[in-house]
């Protein structure tokens, strides 16, 4: 068969599939909003999304794992609103500012499985989640202290290298109350996660392509920083920089 004809057929098939995804993910009959603590619950041939409010006190321990590339996927027992939005927006949770203290403590269980890789579907799912949370999000620019991070000892850093060298292997984080495990993670994304945990703005000062595996015990920032310096060979320097942040407001509180 003619190669050009095959290519045209493949492109048409992808576009048709994305169009069908757009229609099915927008089908309100498959969506449950704010009923029995379900924020969002729908499933079709191309994806499944379930988000439900939970009480963090009900969990003696919990595990969360997610990926954001090439599309959003998640299996989280107990995740905060800040963490959920930081994953959706691909930023650290320090960039998420909740406008009202009374709206600052919701937690959710979340399951997101996209069976078809499609940018249109991914965008629609993220929008649907934000709409279902009944929030508005706007960006503002702030000047804040930023901790610049460099790899000071390459030999130490490469000891943690992931043995499977492939961009197709999904990065995974496993979070519990005792530790956090990063599998096949870029250093920049590990720093984003830690910045959210410790309310610090951590920025990688150089591009490190090598992905690593890393396990950290839960501790305070000084102890964690010392371990990263000693074991991973990192160096930390603080300077002021501008940063965009997402301001989150509750629609129900705006109406009130």
Q: What's the pLDDT tens digit per position in 218-234?
A: 999 999 999 999 999 99
pLDDT at 191 over 70: yes
| Pair 129, 241: CB distance under 8 Å | no
Closest CA to 211 of 179, 169, 153: 169
- Quote the pLDDT of residue 42: 92
Q: What is the overall mean pLDDT for the chain?
A: 81
| Pair 198, 94: CB distance under 8 Å | no
More confident residue, 103 or 113: 113
From the CB of residue 232, how many other CB atoms can be counted at a distance below 10 Å?
20
Reduce the DSSP state of residue 8 to 3 states and report it.
helix
Longest dimension (CA), the chain: 64
Residues 6 or more apart from 233 whose CB is under 8 A from it?
A: 151, 152, 153, 154, 155, 156, 157
pLDDT tens-digit readout, 15-63: 445 545 444 444 444 444 444 589 999 999 999 999 999 998 888 888 8
| CA–CA dist 201, 236 (Å, integer) | 11
- Block residue for tokens 């499944």: 48
pLDDT at 138 over 80: yes
- Quote the pLDDT of residue 4: 44
Residues 6 or more apart from 202 whose CB is under 8 A from it?
A: 92, 146, 147, 149, 191, 192, 194, 195
- Quote the pLDDT of residue 7: 40
- Quote the pLDDT of residue 18: 55
| Pair 236, 149: CB distance under 8 Å | yes
Q: Which residues of 19-45 are buried (b: 16+ CB within 10 A; e: fewer)?
A: ebbeebbeeeeebeeeeeeebbbbebe
H/E stretch holding 232 reads: helix 221-232
Rg (alpha carbons) of the chain, rounded to whole number: 20
Query: pTM for the complete prediction?
Result: 0.57
């Amino acid at each position: 068969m003619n190669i050009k004809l095959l290519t045209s057929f493949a492109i048409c098939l992808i576009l048709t599939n994305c169009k069908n995804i757009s229609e099915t993910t927008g089908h309100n009959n498959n969506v449950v909003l704010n009923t029995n603590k379900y924020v969002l619950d729908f499933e079709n041939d191309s994806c499944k999304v379930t988000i439900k409010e939970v009480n963090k006190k009900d969990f003696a321990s919990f595990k969360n794992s997610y990926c954001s590339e090439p599309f959003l996927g998640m299996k989280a027992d107990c995740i905060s609103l800040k963490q959920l939005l930081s994953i959706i927006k691909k930023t650290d949770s320090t960039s998420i500012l909740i406008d009202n203290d009374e709206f600052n403590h919701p937690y959710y269980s979340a399951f997101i499985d996209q069976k078809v890789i499609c940018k249109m579907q991914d965008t629609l799912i993220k929008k649907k989640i934000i709409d279902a949370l009944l929030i508005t999000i706007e960006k503002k620019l702030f000047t804040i202290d930023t901790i610049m991070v460099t790899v000071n000892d390459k030999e130490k850093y490469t000891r943690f290298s992931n043995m499977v060298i492939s961009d197709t292997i999904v990065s995974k984080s496993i979070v519990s109350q005792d530790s956090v495990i990063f599998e096949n993670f870029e250093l920049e994304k590990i720093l984003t996660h830690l910045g959210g945990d410790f309310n610090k703005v951590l920025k990688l000062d150089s591009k490190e392509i090598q992905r690593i595996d890393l396990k950290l015990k839960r501790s305070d920032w000084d102890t964690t920083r010392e371990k990263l310096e000693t074991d991973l060979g990192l160096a930390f320097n603080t300077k002021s920089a501008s940063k965009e942040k997402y301001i989150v407001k509750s629609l129900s509180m705006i109406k009130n």
